[in-house]
Amino acid sequence: MIELDQAAYSYGGGELLSDMTLSIAKGSFYFLTGPSGAGKTTLLKMCYADLVPTAGNVRLFGQNLRNMTRDDIATVRRRIGVVHQDCQFLDHLSVLENIALPLVVSGQDKLADRANLKELLAWVGLSKRANALPPELSGGERQRAALARAIILSPDVILADEPTGNVDWDMSQRLLQLLIELNKMGKTILIASHDLGLIRTAKSQVQARVLRIYNRRIQLAGANL
């Protein structure tokens, strides 16, 4: 579903990622680790067509990112749900309206989808907060709303950038369980995280693999993580 073939990315200050080769199969569960500044977010951005590699290739669902048109990218992005680290919302819209935005933008805002939206709110535990405004939400509620928004279009792949970085342990476990449930439904999961406790918990429940960015390259971490 996502393939990197000797992909690299350079900023003005030099090469950040080099010779990245990786194949993420349908239904797999991966964590992406590495120190701050190692390039985890940059790698995720290449995986959802927000950045084009400066060398090598990235293929998303069989299409080479370098050859994609704007329409191709829009189609691919509907198959990829992204939970950003900063959880940005439109503060003048309710939680329900923020989560529904991908439906509106994609032209799929129908009555049946609105019914599914209510079920989704219940699944992430936000039914009672549907009409709240984003500034009224706790950190954990914002993260659950971000996850709901990321999966409202039923994507094949969910990418999450430090989704538990600003919540306590109990909430991080709740978020992890939601992602594990999605994986058991057949969704492909890639989570950037530095939380080793969270990773160990996941590995005890699903076949989660751990990728590590080290010295600008990516490697499969050992089983003793």
Q: What is the pLDDT of residue 44?
A: 96
Asked whether residue 132 is assigned to any structural domain, the reply reads yes
How does pLDDT run across 32-47, given as a tens digit for each residue? Answer: 999 888 899 999 999 9
Q: Is 103 found in the same domain as 4?
A: no
Mean pLDDT throughout 109-116? 64
Cα 6 to Cα 18: distance, rounded to the nearest angstrom = 7
102 lies in the same domain as 162 = no
User: What is the domain extent for residue 39?
Assistant: 1-79+155-225
The C-alpha atoms of residue 20 and residue 150 are separated, in whole angstroms, by 26
Kindly tell me the number of DSSP H helices and DSSP E strands found in the chain: 7, 10
Residue 50 sits in a domain of what CATH number?
3.40.50.300
Is residue 143 in some structural domain? yes
- Cα–Cα distance measured from residue 82 to residue 197, given in angstroms and rounded to the nearest whole number: 22
SS3 (DSSP) at 212: strand
Are residue 102 and residue 142 in the same domain, yes or no? Answer: yes
Within this chain, do residues 180 and 74 fall inside the same structural domain, yes or no? yes
**Residue listed under structure tokens 């594990």:** 180
| Domain contains 84 | no
> 159 and 58 in one domain?
yes
Asked if the model's pLDDT at residue 85 lies above 60, the reply is yes
Domains in the chain, number: 2
Mean pLDDT of the chain: 90
